[in-house]
Structure 1
Amino acid sequence: MVPLLTAFCVSACLINLTIAESEASNTTENTGVEEPQLPQLGTDSVVLRQLLNQETLIRMSLTKNVHAMMKDMVSFKKTALSLQSEMSTVKQTVGDEKIKMEKEIEALKDEIQQLKERNEVLEDRLSAQNLTDFRLRAELEKNLEDRKRLEKDLRVGQENFERNTSEILSDIKIQIRVLSMSLMELNKHAQEIDKTVPELIENKYHVVSEMIANVSTSLLEETNRSLGNIRSDLSETQLDQLKLSAAVLSLEWFRNNISSGGFDVSERIGFTVGTTSGNRYWGSGKLVFSSVIFNQGQGYDASSGIFTSPTDGTYVFYVTITAYSSNTINVDIVHDKVSKVRAHAYGSTSHQTGTNMAVLTLSRGDKVWVQYASGGGYYSESVPVTTFSGFMI
């Protein structure tokens, strides 16, 4: 900055000198007075003139440079003002950006704090989940052990059951064979009787005929009565023979089914359930019998109170409802949302009972339950008096 000011001062001095010379020249021209002629001084005067000419050239060059410098100074000033304006704008922009960045930084700090808090919550949840997983894993291992133990017990029980069943079936087969032999002997004896009876009748008929020819009317009546008794005995004998034949056929069929495995007790389906406590205010929905007394085939669900048919067939259902105190209560046996029969317990006296039975044809997957119809409140005891039963026939 200092060299620039020094150059500016030198330029100003040169400009002033140039202006003064220009005014002196103008004054001479205006007055018409000529410059005094210097005397010829020889070589020194030539040198002086050359020096003056050089000085004039230098002065003119300096004047031109000063003018150029002044223009540069003006341009520099304009540039400086422009730069100052831009600097102000930049400062304002930087200030705004700084404020904006500070706000964003604060927002980021808040977000980071929230993330930290959330991370702590997630870590707590993860720790709790790990504990839960550990507990569930322990319970799962325990359940697996219980399952293995239960499977082992079931396997042992099944083996014992099969062994006992085999022994029982063997005994039944032996008894059936003995009974079959006895029935065959009875059948043979009945056939022998069947063969001898006509001969006896024929003989007695001839005897009676001879007696009829020789005896009186009273003896004839007695003979007819005897003949009727003989015919009655013959009819009874033939009926006993038919019964024995039917029994033999039934036993043969039973023996064939036992031998071929067609008679399976485990395929029977039936249940008896009840409730061990009453509900004075019950008045809607299904009646759930939570106490399971018998459930062959696992068709009844104690949690929902619904029997689901395991297979196609004809089923018998029976319901007993005991009214609470002197209330009146009506319930229906429902097959797939359709009421079939209704049990009515009229509350004329305390704990009246209503019963009903339905025979239904079910397909596999059909559902049957006991549904509230009207009235309210049912009664039961530790040994159930309000029950629901069903079996396949």
Structure 2
Amino acid sequence: MAVMLVLVLLGQLSVHVLGQSLPAELGTTLLSLVAEERNLRAQLEAEADLLERELDKLTTLRQNATCGCPSLSSSPVAFTATLGHNIATLGKQQAIIYEEVTLNLGDAYDVRHGIFTAPFAGLYEFTAVVLNRGGVSTGLSLVLNGEAVTKVQSGDSSYYTMGTNAVALKLVAGDEVWVRHTDQSDSNSIQGESTSSFTGYLIDV
């Protein structure tokens, strides 16, 4: 407000001066002052714009610091992995290692063990898909830190069948999620060839 008042007063002064009949020397001096006032006005306006931009940046930083969000520079978290080969001898509670990784944003899925590890706290969604040939029935569990949270079953006497299930989980940093063979399966096999899959992604923090 004070800056704008100074600019208005200086502007009124320049108009008043230019409208008067003055001695040449005094007139030249006043015209020089008017030019200096115009330069000062431009500098003040530029500084005001800069201050406004800096204020916007500070406001954004404050919002990010108080919302509990991950760093804006961090990568999103999402993965998709499929089973590339058929398995005919699944063991009791054997973890399924989906070795064909098509997406792994954030590198939270470990292809060596088939385990997803939450990089930070948030709401995540996971989906498990299983395909079986006719005459085979197989059950899988989606597991959080060793405890089954949901199951998916696939099987039919004559046809290939596909089962799928999804679950949303509130995780903390370090929580582990994976898929394993259930005790209730009638068979120990699962179809691969990129048909059975395990997917997960961050929904919200």
Same fold (TM over 0.5): yes
Correspondences of 1:14-53 after superposition (within 5 Å): none
Please report how far the alpha carbon of residue 385 of structure 1 lies from its aligned counterpart in structure 2 after TM superposition. Answer: 0.9
Give 1:350's match in structure 2, choosing from 159, 162, 187: 159
The residue number in structure 1 matching 2:192 is 380
Contact map agreement 1:325 1:379 (CA 8 A) in 2: no
Give 2:78's match in structure 1, choosing from 270, 274, 282: 270
> Is the counterpart of residue 279 in structure 1 residue 87 in structure 2?
yes
Amino acid at match of 2:162: T
Larger helix percent: 1
> Is the counterpart of residue 306 in structure 1 residue 118 in structure 2?
no
Amino acid at match of 1:341: T
Could you tell me how far apart the structure 2 residues matched to 1:367 and 1:299 are? Answer: 10
Give unmatched runs, 5+ long, in structure 1: 1-254
Report the 3-state secondary structure (helix = DSSP H, G, I; strand = E; otherwise coil) of the residue aligned with 1:355: strand
Aligned CA distance change for structure 1 residues 342 and 265 (closer, same or farther; 3 Å): farther
C-alpha RMSD of matched pairs (Å): 2.3
Could you tell me how far apart the structure 1 residues matched to 2:119 and 2:158 are? Answer: 40
Please report how far the alpha carbon of residue 265 of structure 1 lies from its aligned counterpart in structure 2 after TM superposition. Answer: 6.5
The structure having more radius of gyration, on CA atoms, is: 1
**Number of residue equivalences:** 136
The residue number in structure 2 matching 1:103 is none
Please report how far the alpha carbon of residue 325 of structure 1 lies from its aligned counterpart in structure 2 after TM superposition. Answer: 4.1
Report the 3-state secondary structure (helix = DSSP H, G, I; strand = E; otherwise coil) of the residue aligned with 2:119: coil
Could you tell me how far apart the structure 2 residues matched to 1:343 and 1:386 are? Answer: 11
Could you tell me how far apart the structure 1 residues matched to 2:105 and 2:84 are? Answer: 20
Could you tell me how far apart the structure 1 residues matched to 2:123 and 2:170 are? Answer: 4
Select the structure with the greater relative contact order (CA < 8 A; seq sep ≥ 6): 2
Contact map agreement 1:280 1:324 (CA 8 A) in 2: no
Could you tell me how far apart the structure 2 residues matched to 1:310 and 1:276 are? Answer: 26
Q: TM-score, normalised by structure 2?
A: 0.61
> Is the counterpart of residue 331 in structure 1 residue 143 in structure 2?
no
Aligned CA distance change for structure 1 residues 325 and 303 (closer, same or farther; 3 Å): farther
Aligned CA distance change for structure 1 residues 390 and 256 (closer, same or farther; 3 Å): farther
Report the 3-state secondary structure (helix = DSSP H, G, I; strand = E; otherwise coil) of the residue aligned with 1:328: strand
Percentage identity across paired residues of the two chains? 25
The residue number in structure 2 matching 1:340 is 149
> Is the counterpart of residue 288 in structure 1 residue 100 in structure 2?
no
